[in-house]
């Protein structure tokens, strides 16, 4: 269930609650190393091998809030202690193993990982989703594994706008998630932050969605997840995604995140479900043309064969299906006929096959740490 629109830009307070599934880190992950030292002159950050501007207001919010909590904790334990190196500057190094700023929720993974890692370094424990939220709204949900809701809250200071786990990642083991990375999805034309600002200012459909549609659907969605009722979960997911993109079209000037490949994927899903006589597959699209498909394990092989029939993989495009292995199967001729979609070449670049996963965790192996003993990025980053 999508978050779109804020009631407070600085604190990142949304106009509706939302819900997401945290994807498994074996397939999609951010890795972040934070080092703190008396010898560092200033806070610094490297992202995907390149030094970025640490004065970015959202990074500053996260650093400030973690340091504030660390100070509070020190004052409660022993004000004379500075065991957590509170006055020290930090060096932060982070890499995403998937495209950044391409509508694959890199800001969610990135800020959740950053806040979790900073909290470990500064010895801060407890509820941290309120801090991750101030990095990027969607990041608060990624502080937990499995099925997570972001309760919008009512307070002006945002203290009740927090994430809460609905069910852990082990709850629905048969659920599979396929990320269909479409071919022309590089950096998106309108970022989520500015896109939702324009929508709040201009779309009356967005207002209706936030006040009259999402509150009821959140309850239904949580109920469907708890009962592992795939058909209900799938329909709510598709309806919510469609309504979000309808609010984008209702924004003035309109915002288009879906492209013709996204539309073909939508058709394919509906035609397949209709042919099967039951809902076996669903889609949702974030602020970009890539599709996130939900299905149950037993239906994935056939659906992916169908995807490859409609979107024949490029011969030199590398491995088409990545991530969790998928059994191969043959596609009945009758199914191809019934779907009736002409193959479109170069539509989908690759598919990441994954499932629900845990929230942030510590990388124990020092060989995987991203900063060297000199506090600078390792050459391999
Ligand atoms: N690993 C990271 N550590 C810290 N910040 C990150 C990290 N990865 C991404 N970000 C921040 O998030 C920004 C990208 O966010 P943006 O919302 O544009 O794209 P996205 O999150 O990939 O897409 P969406 O949220 O719409 O799914 C980056 O420019 C950077 O500021
Ligand atoms: C379409 C979305 O992915 C938008 C996410 O927006 P962000 O959380 O990235 O926006 P900011 O809070 O401004 O950083 C929907 C969702 O993840 O719920």
CB count in 10 Å sphere of residue 270: 15
Whether 82 has a pLDDT exceeding 90, the answer reads no
For the stretch 125-156, pLDDT in tens is 999 999 999 999 999 999 999 999 999 999 99
| Ligand 1 pocket residues where CB is under 6 Å | 30, 47, 94, 96, 100-108, 110-111, 114, 138, 191-192, 286-287
Shortest-distance Cα residue to atom 9 of ligand 1: 107
In the numeric block, which tokens belong to residue 139?
A: 């990041």
CATH number at residue 130: 3.30.230.10
Domain that holds residue 49: 6-169+361-368
Whether 98 has a pLDDT exceeding 70, the answer reads yes
Q: 199 and 217, same structural domain?
A: yes
215 C-alpha to ligand 1 centroid (Å): 27
Whether 84 has a pLDDT exceeding 60, the answer reads no
Instruction: Provide the pLDDT confidence category of residue 83 given band limits of 50, 70 and 90.
Output: low
Q: 222 and 91, same structural domain?
A: no
User: Given this model, what pLDDT does residue 332 score?
Assistant: 94
| Dihedral of alpha carbons 185, 186, 192, 195, sign | negative
Which ligand 1 atom is at minimum distance from the Cα of 58?
Answer: 31
In a domain, 1, yes or no: no
**ipTM of the shown complex:** 0.96
In the numeric block, which tokens belong to residue 345?
A: 């070449």
Q: 179 and 159, same structural domain?
A: no
Exposure string (b/e) for 342-363, b if CB count within 10 Å is 16 or more?
A: eeeeebbbbbbbbbbbebbeee
User: Given this model, what pLDDT does residue 314 score?
Assistant: 83
Phi, psi of 19 (to 5 degrees): -150, 140
Q: 281 and 141, same structural domain?
A: no
For residue 295, the cross-strand partners are 176, 281
In a domain, 344, yes or no: yes
Instruction: Domain count for the chain, please give it.
Output: 2
| Ligand 2 pocket residues where CB is under 6 Å | 2-3, 12, 18, 105, 107, 136-138, 192-193, 286-287
Q: Tell me the whole-structure pTM to 2 decimals.
A: 0.96
Q: 304 and 205, same structural domain?
A: yes
Q: 215 and 72, same structural domain?
A: no
Which ligand 2 atom is at minimum distance from the Cα of 105?
Answer: 3
User: Given this model, what pLDDT does residue 45 score?
Assistant: 98
Residues ≥6 apart with Cβ < 8 Å to 48 = 94, 95, 96, 100
Q: 29 and 63, same structural domain?
A: yes
Q: 162 and 263, same structural domain?
A: no
Q: 300 and 329, same structural domain?
A: yes
Residues ≥6 apart with Cβ < 8 Å to 219 = none
């Amino acid at each position: 269930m999508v978050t779109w629109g804020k009631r407070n830009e600085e604190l990142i307070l949304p106009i509706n609650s939302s819900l997401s599934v945290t994807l498994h880190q074996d397939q999609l992950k951010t890795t972040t190393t934070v080092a703190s030292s008396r010898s560092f002159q200033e806070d610094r950050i490297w992202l995907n091998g390149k030094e970025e501007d640490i004065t970015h207001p959202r990074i500053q919010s996260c650093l400030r809030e973690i340091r504030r909590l660390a100070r509070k904790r020190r004052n409660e334990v022993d004000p004379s202690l500075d065991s957590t190196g509170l006055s020290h500057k930090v060096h932060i190094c982070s890499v995403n193993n998937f495209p950044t700023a391409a509508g694959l929720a890199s800001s969610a993974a990135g800020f959740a990982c950053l806040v979790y890692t900073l909290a470990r370094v500064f010895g801060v424990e407890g509820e941290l989703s309120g801090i991750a939220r101030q990095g990027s709204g969607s990041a608060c949900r990624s502080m937990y594994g499995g099925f997570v809701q972001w309760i919008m809250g009512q307070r002006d200071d945002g203290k009740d706008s927090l994430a809460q786990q609905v069910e852990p990642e082990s709850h629905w083991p048969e659920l599979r998630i396929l990320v269909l990375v479409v071919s022309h999805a590089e950096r998106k034309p309108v970022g989520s932050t500015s896109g939702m600002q324009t929508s709040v200012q201009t779309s009356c459909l967005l207002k209706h969605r936030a006040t009259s549609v999402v509150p009821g659907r959140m309850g239904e969605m949580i109920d469907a997840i708890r009962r592992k009722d795939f058909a209900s979960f799938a329909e709510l997911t598709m309806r919510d995604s469609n309504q979000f993109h309808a609010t984008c079209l209702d924004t003035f000037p309109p915002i288009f995140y879906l492209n013709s490949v996204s539309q073909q994927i939508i058709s394919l899903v509906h035609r397949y479900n209709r042919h099967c006589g039951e809902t076996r597959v669903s889609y949702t699209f974030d602020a970009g043309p890539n599709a996130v498909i939900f299905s149950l394990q037993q239906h994935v092989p056939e659906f992916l064969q169908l995807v490859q029939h409609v979107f024949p993989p490029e011969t030199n495009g590398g491995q088409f299906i990545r991530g969790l292995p998928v059994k191969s199967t043959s596609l009945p001729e009758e199914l191809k006929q019934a779907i009736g979609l002409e193959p479109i070449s170069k539509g989908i670049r690759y598919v990441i096959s994954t499932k629900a996963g845990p929230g942030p965790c510590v990388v124990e192996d020092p060989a995987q740490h991203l900063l060297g003993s000199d506090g600078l990025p390792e050459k391999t980053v």
